[in-house]
Chains A and B, each alone.
Chain A
Amino acid sequence: MAQRNMIHALNSAMDIMLGRDPSVVVLGEDVGYFGGVFRCTEGLQRKYGEHRVLDTPIAEGGIIAAAIGMAVNGLRPVAEIQFADYIYPGYDQIVSELARLRYRSAGEFFAPVTVRTPSGGGIRGGQTHSQSPEALFAHVAGLKVVMPSNPYDAKGLLIASIEDDDPVIFFEPKRIYNGPFDGEPDKPAVPWSAHPKGEVPDGHYTVPIGKAEIVRSGNDLTIVTYGTMVHVSEATARKLGLDAEIIDVRTMVPLDSDTICSSVARTGRCVIVHEATRFAGFGAELSATIQEECFWNLQAPIMRVAGWDTPYPHAFEWEYFPGQARVAKALKTVMEPA
């Protein structure tokens, strides 16, 4: 066991997989000598060499396509896209190729590629370093989509993703790389060492893909969330003194609707919280699923808290970010007696 932040946890996952499995390779922009702009791959090229950890040209389409080709030839590539905002030049290769190769070749070809990419805002990154595009991938048949909310899960889920024979788009909420964030930017930063999920085993372990986690059990209502917003939701519910059940989705595809729906069926109230834009966001899928399964148990309409349907503006970061005020309003509304 060691105290690790999310960056170290992810690094440890790749280190272990590079060490255990000679078919694993890591590739991306600045990931080799430099160790990545967020330092997630630090030291890996030195340890495993330039044929296992590759600095690539700045061409996301090329990175994904080359990863697919490598995977078809037996490698297990872990591709880093420097920011999720820069994944779109690779989108065609992901949507038209990576997602469907197994299907169109009747299972004869497949590409076990993991695409890691930092997402989300709260770092003053403006419209091109802040996006949360998970819904664009969750909507595509054939992709697994994962987003951890803490170092323990980050390592376990990344190892599970690399070992998975299906392609995984692995979003890393960069605002919480170094510590949990409860949505209040003016408060001093909290490190992961102060959080139980900052305890990360040294060795190999997995967190299963397709399993949500109940991070707090409660009876008043269910908050369904993921990534950075897990922490914002927890802090808000605590402040309001609500006995909320908080579910960290962790895997958007495949979705653990059993865990989510049995909780809502029991509490009868539900708020969905994510940072991505609201319209046709992943919250819409969650809401529809819950409504279909839990309609007769609901005591209030399901509410969604999300980023506004605008690009992420540099100057209005905290007016954009769905912070505690916006979450609190939804929680209160859902708790009003019918």
Chain B
Amino acid sequence: MVTKSRLHVPKTPARPGDAPDFSYLELSAAGVVKRPETSARVRDMQSLSDELVRVLDDKHQPVGPWNPRLDSPELQIALRHMLLTRVFDDRLQRIQRSGKISFYMRSLGEEAVSVAMAMALQPGDMLFPSYRNQGLHVVRGRPIVDLMCQCLSNTRDMCKGRQLPVMYHWREGRIFSISGNLATQFPQAVGWAMAAAIKGQDDIAVSWLGEGSSAEADFHHALLFASVYKAPVILNVVNNQWAISTFQGHAGGERRSFAARGPGYGIAGLRVDGNDFLAVYAVTQWAAERARTGHGPTLIEHVTYRAAAHSTSDDPARYRPKEDYQGWPLGDPIERLKGHLIALGEWSEERHAALTAELEAHVAASWKEAVSHGTLTEPPRLDPHLMFEDVFKEMPPHLRKQEAELRAELERG
């Protein structure tokens, strides 16, 4: 019996040398979670933040009220987007190892979160991503060569050499600039949505962050402002279990789900199987309709797993079991959608292998094109004077002077 307060330290279920342990995860069977009206009151749907929306069952069949009933061509497009995201990630990871780019972050195992959401949203919706949402660009049709040029900081880099790899943006594609500072985009998305409501637009805002980042005050600012102003926004916590070496319990996941923070603020909270493409698509449709019809924000927790290292600077073998992912109960999003398509008789291993080969060739060709615009170390290089642009709209005198000093410095060699 506890008779005194004692500092509690959240438990990490498995460390190197332990067997993977996901017994802490509360799962619901596919198809059992109710689908409320999109106008439902938050207090009438609180259980949705504890249960887990799942559509695909163990036999690859879509079941229950959340089945979005997508047709086979659409599912094949989804599979292609997820696979392209993965092939792209794999290639850039290898390229980083060879030293051509300075850094990289993969979304391995989390592809459904970005791809399903982007597919379920409207093109006018404004996206405020974190650094693990490359699938958004893929779905919205950004040529991957553009992403590669950013990673190379080359002459066609959309960031003009100013940002680390993966910190993309795409104004025409309505994908906001990524900050290296965690969680800052979350309340900004709410502000964008408030402006949409002020202006009477139909567009909504959508933002993502990791469960670790949900500890930042900005997460709470986002929920509060979204709630107070009933902003048309979808706020996503991508719970991939790990924040670098830190298990999600240290972000507050030990007590309640992250989705459950929504109802605390008067916001609908949904917990979804983030590796089930159909489930993610369905909850996005639901939340988007809710936002667009004036019923306010939704907080969605995507239960998934960061299958890769945090970044190329990280070695997960130091803090979690090597085989951890093998024990992950929600599988792999690509394998699961593929299984579903095969069960429908609309796909096969052969077609999958052919698609993979096609995408690998596409990525390889894109890379060839990308490096023709230069790399960090090989010409053509961006002109260093670009470093002084865009600090302000117009370059003030002290920067003009510094620019001239740099020119002289480079000419002297």
A216 at the interface (CB under 8 A from B): no
Tally of contact residues, B, Cβ under 8 A: 52
Q: Knowing A124-B103, A311-B391, say if A89 contacts B384 (CB, 8 Å).
A: no
A314 at the interface (CB under 8 A from B): yes
Looking at A29, A51, A55, A57, the one whose CB has the most chain B CB atoms below 10 A away is A57
Task: Say whether B9 contacts A315, CB under 8 Å.
Answer: no
Kindly state the separation between the CA atoms of A320 and B384 in the bound complex, as whole angstroms: 9
| Nearest A residue (CB) for B403 | A308
A220 at the interface (CB under 8 A from B): no
B246 at the interface (CB under 8 A from A): yes
Task: Say whether B245 contacts A34, CB under 8 Å.
Answer: yes
Kindly state the separation between the CA atoms of A319 and B387 in the bound complex, as whole angstroms: 9
B97 at the interface (CB under 8 A from A): no
A194 at the interface (CB under 8 A from B): no
Among A59, A124, A309, contact of B216 (Cβ-Cβ < 8 Å): A59
Task: Say whether A325 contacts B412, CB under 8 Å.
Answer: yes
Task: Say whether B251 contacts A57, CB under 8 Å.
Answer: yes
| Nearest A residue (CB) for B12 | A33
A29 to chain B: closest CB distance in Å? 7
B145 at the interface (CB under 8 A from A): no
Task: Say whether A55 contacts B388, CB under 8 Å.
Answer: no
A331 to chain B: closest CB distance in Å? 14
Kindly state the separation between the CA atoms of A129 and B252 in the bound complex, as whole angstroms: 26
A296 at the interface (CB under 8 A from B): no
B32 at the interface (CB under 8 A from A): no
B406 at the interface (CB under 8 A from A): yes
Taking CB atoms, residues of chain B closer than 8 Å to A309 are 391, 398-399, 402
Measured as residues with beta carbon below 8 angstroms from the partner, the interface class of chain A is 35 or more
Looking at A85, A279, A315, the one whose CB has the most chain B CB atoms below 10 A away is A315
Kindly state the separation between the CA atoms of A129 and B212 in the bound complex, as whole angstroms: 19
Q: Knowing A50-B9, A128-B180, say if A57 contacts B163 (CB, 8 Å).
A: no
Task: Say whether B216 contacts A315, CB under 8 Å.
Answer: no
Task: Say whether B161 contacts A58, CB under 8 Å.
Answer: no
Task: Say whether B182 contacts A58, CB under 8 Å.
Answer: yes
Please count the residue pairs between chain A and chain B whose beta carbons lie under 8 angstroms apart in the complex: 124
| Nearest B residue (CB) for A49 | B9
Task: Say whether A315 contacts B161, CB under 8 Å.
Answer: yes
Kindly state the separation between the CA atoms of A308 and B412 in the bound complex, as whole angstroms: 18
The majority secondary structure among interface residues of chain A is loop
A203-244 residues at the B interface, CB under 8 angstroms = none
B71 at the interface (CB under 8 A from A): no
Among A55, A279, A315, A316, contact of B250 (Cβ-Cβ < 8 Å): A55
A326 to chain B: closest CB distance in Å? 6
The majority secondary structure among interface residues of chain B is loop
Among A54, A127, A308, contact of B162 (Cβ-Cβ < 8 Å): A127
A125 at the interface (CB under 8 A from B): yes
Kindly state the separation between the CA atoms of A5 and B230 in the bound complex, as whole angstroms: 53
| Nearest A residue (CB) for B159 | A314
Kindly state the separation between the CA atoms of A125 and B9 in the bound complex, as whole angstroms: 32
B203 at the interface (CB under 8 A from A): no
B76 at the interface (CB under 8 A from A): no
**Chain B 383-413: CB-based contact to A (< 8 A → 1; otherwise 0):** 0101110010000001100100110011011
**Chain A 127-169: CB-based contact to B (< 8 A → 1; otherwise 0):** 1110000000000000000000000000000000000000000
Among A59, A128, A279, A326, contact of B181 (Cβ-Cβ < 8 Å): A128
Q: Knowing A310-B388, A313-B162, say if A57 contacts B153 (CB, 8 Å).
A: no
Among A57, A319, A329, contact of B252 (Cβ-Cβ < 8 Å): A57
A46-101 residues at the B interface, CB under 8 angstroms = 50-51, 54-62, 85-86, 88-89
Task: Say whether B153 contacts A315, CB under 8 Å.
Answer: yes
Among A33, A58, A329, contact of B243 (Cβ-Cβ < 8 Å): A58
Task: Say whether B180 contacts A129, CB under 8 Å.
Answer: yes
| Nearest B residue (CB) for A90 | B217
| Nearest B residue (CB) for A39 | B318
Task: Say whether A308 contacts B246, CB under 8 Å.
Answer: no
Taking CB atoms, residues of chain A closer than 8 Å to B159 are 314
Taking CB atoms, residues of chain B closer than 8 Å to A278 are 402
Kindly state the separation between the CA atoms of A309 and B406 in the bound complex, as whole angstroms: 12
Q: Knowing A30-B245, A311-B391, A325-B412, say if A57 contacts B250 (CB, 8 Å).
A: yes
Among A128, A311, A326, contact of B409 (Cβ-Cβ < 8 Å): A326
B319 at the interface (CB under 8 A from A): yes
Taking CB atoms, residues of chain A closer than 8 Å to B45 are none
B167 at the interface (CB under 8 A from A): yes
Kindly state the separation between the CA atoms of A320 and B167 in the bound complex, as whole angstroms: 20
Taking CB atoms, residues of chain A closer than 8 Å to B318 are 34
A320 to chain B: closest CB distance in Å? 6
Task: Say whether A329 contacts B162, CB under 8 Å.
Answer: no
Could you list 17 further interchain pairs (A-B, Cβ under 8 angstroms) beyond the known A126-B164, A316-B384, A325-B409?
Answer: A29-B243, A29-B244, A30-B245, A30-B246, A33-B12, A33-B15, A33-B245, A51-B9, A126-B162, A308-B388, A308-B402, A311-B391, A313-B162, A314-B102, A315-B161, A315-B381, A320-B387
16 examples of A-B residue contacts, CB within 8 angstroms: A29-B244, A57-B212, A57-B251, A58-B216, A59-B217, A124-B103, A126-B167, A128-B179, A308-B387, A311-B391, A313-B161, A314-B159, A314-B163, A315-B160, A319-B387, A325-B412
Footprint of B on A, CB under 8 Å?
Answer: 29-30, 33-34, 37, 50-51, 54-62, 85-86, 88-89, 124-129, 278-279, 308-311, 313-316, 319-320, 325-326, 329
Q: Which 7 A-B pairs have the closest CB atoms?
A: A128-B180, A315-B161, A57-B215, A34-B245, A126-B164, A315-B153, A319-B384
